């Protein structure tokens, strides 16, 4: 009864929290869109006649949205103040200044005063989009590149629009053209100039226009360089695994050019690099893990190893505590096709668990009697239990990911988990018998 009541209380509470979180995100997006609309509209209505009816409607809608947003932000500001939460770079802080900006941005001043110029004051709200951009950029991990590219295009488009509006206000076009054509021609001039294409079919005529177009050109050089640099950087850093493959191949190419390896060896190395790529293993991972503090690094490693351990039949039914304990004692190892993992008659101090891959086993005396081992199998346990040399050769057929279990870890397992120990012993005996 009591637990049922708990759920009854807990669920809506939790749902409410999620709702609230999403509510804030949705409100951020809606207010950003409304801000974008006025950022496009205000300069436009200063330079070309736009239907007052439409404009008024848009202003009313945006005013309502931005006013609601303003009230929401006041509420957030109060909550933040009350909670005495330590502000950090990831929180979207609300300060009185920001609230003032929100208030100014929500007032349709141009409409009230009747002067479109006064409306420019509403554009302060645009700073909020920049704030959201920074905030979202820091929040997202996986899609931040696309987000950055998107915002990047948004700002370029906005600046181009503003510059076009400026030109439209200054330049006198010959001939009778409707507003849309005039705006498109101005936008076209803006793009032609910013991209430094410079056809020269629309050129400035008075001093003011000349000075304005000079300013646009100077801006253009900077924008242009910035665009090229940024897009190139984002595109280049998109797929580090592929990049690592390309770099590896380039090193191989240089080596081959000097030393002239036979094609067979070249292909073997290329296949190895392709395997690394596919497994998405790069040398930057260790670097990444080393950059984390010890406790975080352990969390990450435990998560990654547990994901694999949970799938190994040998450990079925083992407790979480036990699995966590051995996770740190397992050493991963990679075998390339043809590698000998175990050689008959050699000393052995570890057993192996196969995560992925295919290996073949055979005794040197009878190389035609081959047996195969695959994902989830283990081998090398006989040498550990009976303390004798290896009884067979084990050779990798494909690329193999293995876990090494050192003797100590093995004995730790035997001690702690009789059930697992029993499973290993049974396999070992079955193998010796099948062998005899």
Residues 333-362 that bind a second copy (CB under 8 A): 334, 336, 338-339
Asked if 204 touches a second copy (CB under 8 A), the answer is: yes
**Three-state SS sequence of the chain:** CHHHHHHHHHHHHHHHHHHHHHHHHHHHHHHHHHHHHHHHHHHHHHHCCCCHHHHHHHHHHHHHHHHHHHHHHHHHHHHHHHHCCCCCCCCCCCCHHHHHHHHHHHCCHHHHHCCHHHHHHHHHHHHHHHHHHHHHHHHCCCCHHHHHHHHHHHHHHHHHHHHHHHHHHHCCCCCCCCHHHHHHHHHHHHHHHHCCCCCCCCCCCCHHHHHHHHHHHHHHHHHHHHHHHHHHHHHHCCCHHHHHHHHHHHHHHHHHHHHCCCHHHHHHHHHHHHHHHHCCCCCHHHHHHHCCCHHHHHHHHHHHHHHHHCCCHHHCCCCHHHHHHHHCCCEEEEECCCCEEECCCCCCCEEEEEEECCEEEEECCEEEEEEEECCCCEECHHHHHCCCCCCCEEEECCCEEEEEEEHHHHHHHHHHCHHHHHHHHHHHHHHHHHHC
Tell me whether residue 25 or residue 232 sits nearer to a second copy (CB atom). Answer: 232
Tell me whether residue 53 or residue 291 sits nearer to a second copy (CB atom). Answer: 291
Token match 């006649």: residue? 49
Q: How far is the CB of 227 from a second copy (least distance, A)?
A: 6
Asked if 306 touches a second copy (CB under 8 A), the answer is: no
Tell me whether residue 127 or residue 225 sits nearer to a second copy (CB atom). Answer: 225
Contact segment (CB under 8 A) with a second copy among 100-108, 212-220, 361-369, 410-418 equals: 212-220
Q: How far is the CB of 223 from a second copy (least distance, A)?
A: 9
Asked if 250 touches a second copy (CB under 8 A), the answer is: yes
Q: How far is the CB of 149 from a second copy (least distance, A)?
A: 11
Q: Interface residues for a second copy in 121-140 (CB under 8 A)? A: 138-139
Asked if 173 touches a second copy (CB under 8 A), the answer is: no
Q: How far is the CB of 232 from a second copy (least distance, A)?
A: 5
Q: How far is the CB of 339 from a second copy (least distance, A)?
A: 5
Asked if 272 touches a second copy (CB under 8 A), the answer is: yes
Contact segment (CB under 8 A) with a second copy among 42-50, 116-124, 195-203, 425-433 equals: 195-203
Asked if 275 touches a second copy (CB under 8 A), the answer is: yes
Tell me whether residue 78 or residue 238 sits nearer to a second copy (CB atom). Answer: 238
Pick one of 1, 9, 90, 321: the residue that binds a second copy (CB under 8 A).
90
Q: How far is the CB of 206 from a second copy (least distance, A)?
A: 9
Tell me the number of residues near a second copy by CB under 8 A. 98
Asked if 320 touches a second copy (CB under 8 A), the answer is: no
Q: How far is the CB of 249 from a second copy (least distance, A)?
A: 7
Pick one of 19, 71, 100, 214: the residue that binds a second copy (CB under 8 A).
214
Tell me whether residue 121 or residue 334 sits nearer to a second copy (CB atom). Answer: 334
């Amino acid at each position: 009864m009591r637990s049922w009541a708990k759920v009854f209380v807990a669920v809506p509470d939790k749902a409410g929290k999620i709702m609230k979180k999403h509510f804030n995100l949705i409100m951020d997006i809606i207010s950003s869109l409304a801000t974008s609309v006025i950022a496009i509209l205000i300069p436009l209505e200063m330079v070309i006649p736009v239907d007052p009816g439409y404009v008024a409607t848009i202003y009313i809608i945006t005013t309502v949205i931005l006013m609601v947003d303003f009230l929401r932000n006041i509420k957030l500001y109060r909550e933040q103040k009350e909670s005495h939460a330590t502000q950090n770079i990831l929180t979207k802080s609300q300060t009185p200044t920001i609230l003032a900006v929100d208030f100014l941005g929500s007032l349709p001043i141009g409409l009230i005063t009747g002067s479109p110029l006064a409306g420019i004051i509403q554009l302060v709200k645009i700073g909020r989009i920049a704030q959201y951009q920074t905030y979202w950029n820091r929040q997202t991990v996986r899609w931040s590149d696309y987000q950055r590219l998107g915002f990047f295009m948004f700002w370029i488009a906005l600046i181009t629009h503003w510059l076009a509006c400026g030109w439209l206000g200054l330049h006198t076009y010959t001939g009778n053209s409707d507003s849309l054509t005039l705006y498109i021609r101005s936008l076209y001039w803006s793009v032609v100039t910013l991209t430094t294409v410079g056809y020269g079919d629309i050129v400035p005529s008075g001093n003011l226009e000349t000075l304005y177009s000079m300013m646009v050109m100077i801006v253009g050089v900077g924008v242009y360089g910035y665009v090229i640099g940024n897009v190139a950087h984002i595109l280049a850093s998109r797929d580090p695994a592929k990049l690592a493959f390309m770099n590896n191949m380039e090193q191989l190419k240089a080596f081959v050019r000097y030393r002239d390896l036979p094609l067979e060896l070249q292909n073997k190395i290329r296949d190895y690099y392709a395997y690394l790529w596919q497994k998405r293993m790069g040398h930057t991972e260790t670097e990444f893990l080393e950059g984390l503090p010890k406790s975080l690094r352990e969390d990450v490693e435990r998560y990654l190893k547990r994901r694999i351990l949970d799938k190994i039949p040998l450990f079925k039914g083992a407790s979480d505590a036990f699995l966590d304990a051995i996770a740190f004692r397992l050493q991963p190892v990679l075998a390339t096709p043809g590698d000998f993992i175990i050689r008959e008659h050699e000393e052995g101090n570890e057993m192996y668990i196969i995560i992925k891959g295919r290996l073949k086993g055979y005794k040197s005396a009878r190389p035609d009697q081959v047996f195969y081992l695959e994902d989830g199998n283990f081998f090398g346990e006989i040498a550990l239990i009976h303390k004798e040399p290896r009884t067979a050769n084990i050779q990798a057929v494909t690329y193999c990911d293995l876990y090494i279990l050192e003797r100590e870890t093995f004995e730790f397992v035997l001690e702690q988990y009789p059930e697992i120990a029993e499973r290993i012993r049974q396999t070992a005996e079955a193998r010796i018998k099948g062998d005899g």
